[in-house]
Structure 1
């Protein structure tokens, strides 16, 4: 290894059924040989020679190492691809740890005479003799084939075999001694294992007489039949769709008519259900359901109105109960809606407000004495400052832009005027420390386009002032009560003096 930096070992050869020009997965030692992982040190480089067994000659020689996954990472020095890494195709390949021209050149480059290395000339001569013997064996096999050709007329089966136009891969199947060897040769496991089809498409048709359609939406794996089942006995059952570098899709298609003569859906058609079932009482029963229904009045590519319904089971009933319904710009809940934690989330925000809230009664705010501290009478200075706040009438600018003169007039307060009135009497920054005044800011956000091309508009950075009207009205009431109390005191004083 000191001469070339490459580790040598005897009787190292593995088979390979992997493909491509990158690192190759090795399938295990050939009969009578050792695996690379058992013969060379971890991370050590070694000379290799790869010979393909297909009809198109493919070979490669170079230096390689095994990566953490046990794959052969190749650095070719010569190959059937002009010295580049060979893009090996399907079929068996033999990967051998052996000296080659580049290795010998490296030895000679260090000033070593190959012929002077003890035992190497004899080994190379032996390899040459072995090559002569292999050639002689090949000629003998050809002669045997010619001899058998004259005897095939006596066997109808041999006639059929002789008429076949087979490749080297096909002939290699005929050489297998049993079914297990044949399955190993084509890369498939037995009936109790996983069936593998490298680089192939898998189509399963359980409908007699139905031909596969040719539309592009039929993928590389397709099943034509009434049901597809994934069963796990004693483990977790799962159906997974994995996308690498692109969106992973799990799609349900629905059409009316037949597969050969499809027809459009109509309003009210249920397009698909996603159901979850569990065994209760010895049989499977439905526990939840997500349903999509087409609700457009006139089906068209620009009229895709649909509805999603969510159902769950409930105590005291065997039927699914609808809990949530989603439609365009509408969410309907069939029950109470509550946050996942108490006092932890807001409904909307400063940049995304609800336009109106319809309620049969007013909101209920926490007023429990146990939740409050620092209880005190309202400061007279704050009530004095409130006296400078004016109630106003106004119209909203957005409403005027949308409705013109039809925009309605509102009565209320202006947040900045409330702020300025309080700060002018109690000091700058006092108002924002009161709960009745709110100031929200938000960052800019660019437009976003989802995978279906739907664009969500962006927004500029901004801010907005607001008021908690219930607190403003409470302060207004305190000012009115104090004013009335003072007036009553003056009246009482006048009556007494009279």
Structure 2
């Protein structure tokens, strides 16, 4: 039979849970700790008894490891049907005890002891079980050489309501922020501790958050009459009195600078000043700010001010009007009619200086009345933009015999003439559409007029032989086709046929005749002197895109020239 280590009166408290090692945290009063008593690694009989969870217990053989924890090597019996117990975190005891073998070896001594005890007091197993204690219960304890009975109320006990009752003051250790004297079973670093003489500390997560002193509460280190809030020791906010006798004001202050907010005993409140002279004052800390004074004559006024210059700019709230007076002059007004700037409003929004500037008219709903911005001068209405008075159209209107202009990037681009024509603001400068954003159809009563003034041209003359060969080959490429997007939208049977060429084939033929550079490996063209060959490239987000095209009028004339040369050759040979 192996020999197990034994020492008397070795019992410690523990808070750990689980099925693994348990860490003792301190000796039970009147007992010794495992550390210094039990050699590390020596096996011994242990007994674990739950206090916070009385229904959990376990006995077996274990040892203390190098970290001071109880390693539960084998279980002899437990509240888990003889298997290892998954203890809940909370208070429990760990004791060094003796095994059943030891009791079997000392049956005779145990019997003698039982007889002796029977003469003194009945065995506890003979008493009825009770789940809770009562105030007048008695407990027999050893005192000196004898025994005395003390009331259960002198100890901490669980009463019938499930609470642990105390009949007298509770005396605990000082504790600390990291290990409060009064804490919670599942949150041991949150609770109360003695921070200093006559001071109760409050800790959460093992850190002191505040304390109560004889002079009042303190948060972050400042006592009443101010509360102090400290952030990592670098910024301190004060909330409360100034700490000066006779000052009944209430202040908000950061570090040692002048308070941000002051509420005085006379009812005045200030932000940025400690001496608000009106009921509500906001200051920049100097001479400038604004005030609210409900007792200024018959009005409630909001005044912006400059104390050094003595200048006030009032905002007057009177009846149904709100009046603005910047610089002491006429600024504007808001009333049931609308908002006026520089004028009492005659429309929903009305701006006026020496004369009319702009009006926002909303006399009725769109389509049946008016909802527009009117631009006026002293002579009357000059133009407007907004919803039409006759339908849901949105109008831009100039009542004068002058154009409507459109501009971007600081420059005029297009204009609508009084005659109705749409014109660019610069000759031959702007395009309609782009290689990536193309108009679908242009409807016109007549064809487009292209400039063909001889005075603006440097003439080269007729096509050469290579150009004639290219034109004849391009003519052979003419054919019918359908647009892919039309097929996708309408189907191959409904998409209409168009007649023309494929731009890449035209480009390739011109290159094969030595007239332009060929397309590269990526299908991109080089430079070309021929205007009927077109290619556009652009960035679409992060994707580079491009598109080929032709100028059909010039290409057709090019093909006509080749056709005419061919007919002339046939006629000459006839």
- If the length of structure 1 is used for normalisation, what is the TM-score? 0.45
More helix by share: 1
Higher relative contact order (CA 8 A, sep 6+): 1
More strand by share: 2
Largest Rg, 1 or 2: 2
